[in-house]
Amino acid sequence: MPANPTADSPPLWQQLQACSRALQAVRRGSNHAIALAAVEPRLRAAAQALLFAVLREWGRTQAVRQHLVSRSPPPAVDALLCVGLALAIPDESAMYPMHTLVNQLVEAAKRDPSTRAQSAFINACVRRFAREKSACLQAVADKPQARWNHPEWWIQAVKQDHAQQWQGILQASLSAAPMAVRVNRRRMAREDLQARWQAADVQTQSIGEDGLLLQQARPVTALEGFAQGWFSVQDAGAQLAAPLLLQGLTSELRPKWRVLDACAAPGGKTAHLLERADVEVLALDIDAARCERISDNLQRLGLSATVLCADAAQPSSWWDGQTFDAILLDAPCTASGIVRRHPDIPWLRRPSDLAGLAKQQKYLLQALWPLLAKGGHLLYCTCSLFRQEGVDQVQAFLANNTEAHLLPSPGQLIPGIASNTHSLSDNLAGEHDGFFYALLQRRATGT
């Protein structure tokens, strides 16, 4: 694990300080990527490993801290204390021996002006927890947020939508996700890349039509072929999008299909479409910086698309009037299906976000549907587990649009659990994030 000490790594107290500052940023509302970007590069990998460990224990950590100290300390002190408590909670999976953790935590407190005066307080709290660990954990065990390490509203939403699977979903969300890559079939055969990596002691398993699942995660730039565009990092569930959208489309629509990727950044699905078929792709995103990421990724992979910074929900500002044979709508959502990769998500979301995002998804569907050619396909997908952003959204759209026809689709994919509808032969059960997929076709004639 990156946070473990080595001869060349920064001292643990510096890693704990960096994690604490990133945690403060997350608590103020920043996502983990923004929070970690402020960490100096030599500490960033370690800070991320520590931060993810803390966030995966965040519900229980907050309950334990409240049990030990009823009055909240100042933010910097509270953050460092919570980092220590979160890392002290696990037993067999503990990252550090307790005496090392306490020693370095106090050192971190003493070396920071914002926590120095409270170093003895932090020391006393963590040592008390170490002595009374069983009693402390038992005292908070009946609190749902502490039991499942998710906000209570989130727990209830998952339970409501997945009555038989909610416990497995929450548990799976607390585990680290595997590293999966998509091989660029235009530059390298999957079997050849797999063999080259195996020779370098990088063990993989084939997934889907283009994917490899690494037995152990590696820094992407350390893997042979990244700079040459042989592969991209992409979850196995996300790799279903391109083949689903393109299946069944024929040259009867147009000699070279026009495809719209409506919410394209960072460009993984755009690239997969281009890797699999000779299509003309218009990749949209509302964020200019994220559009640059699309272009950079395509350049590395040796692919070409038209990239446009525009609001997909406002076609009048960018559409040229020519219909698309296929539209990929990877709609903005709660991202509730990718919590194992982004453990800050449940703590950054609010209950009102779900309704607001569902409204946005509905508007995007309605705005983009008229741009689809007769007989064309629109793939609606989200990386969400909530019905309001998935099956409910699609059923409402179908009920109000007689031109739309639902084709066989995976439906809801759940991390750690096999697809529960239309199981696909190329879907490796349990080794993908949570997604929802619905493939819609615009009827060619009549209703």
* Contact predicate 181/190, CB 8 Å: no
Instruction: Answer left, alpha or beta for residue 208, where phi above 0 means left and psi between -120 and 50 means alpha.
Output: left
396/51 Cα distance (integer angstroms): 39
Per DSSP, the three-state class of 386 is: coil
Token pair 């906000």 in the structure block, residue: 151
Close Cβ partners of 441 (under 8 Å, ≥ 6 residues apart): 375, 376, 377, 378, 404, 405, 406, 407
For 221, what's the count of Cα atoms within 13 Å in the CB-facing half-sphere?
0
Instruction: Output the DSSP codes for 120-138.
Output: HHHHHHHHHHHHTHHHHHH
Q: Please, what sign has the CA dihedral across residues 315, 318, 324, 330? A: negative
Residue 320 tokens, joined: 């040229």
R_g (Cα) of the chain, nearest Å:
24
- CA 311 → CA 283, 319, 384, distances in Å? 11, 11, 21
Q: State the angle between helix axes of 58-68 and 133-140 in degrees (0 to 180), rounded to the nearest 10.
A: 110
Token digits for 270? Answer: 């755009």
3-state secondary structure of 45: helix
Rounded Cα gap, residues 434 and 418, in angstroms? 10
Question: Are 386 and 336 contacting, i.e. CB atoms less than 8 angstroms apart?
Answer: yes
User: Active-site residue 383, yes or no?
Assistant: yes
CA-wise closest residue to 226 among 208, 215, 241, 214: 214
Scored b (16 or more CB within 10 A) or e, 55-65 reads bbbbbbbbbbb
Concatenated DSSP letters of 255-295: SS-EEEETT-TT-HHHHHHHHHS--EEEEEES-HHHHHHHH
Q: Which residues participate in catalysis according to the annotation?
A: 383
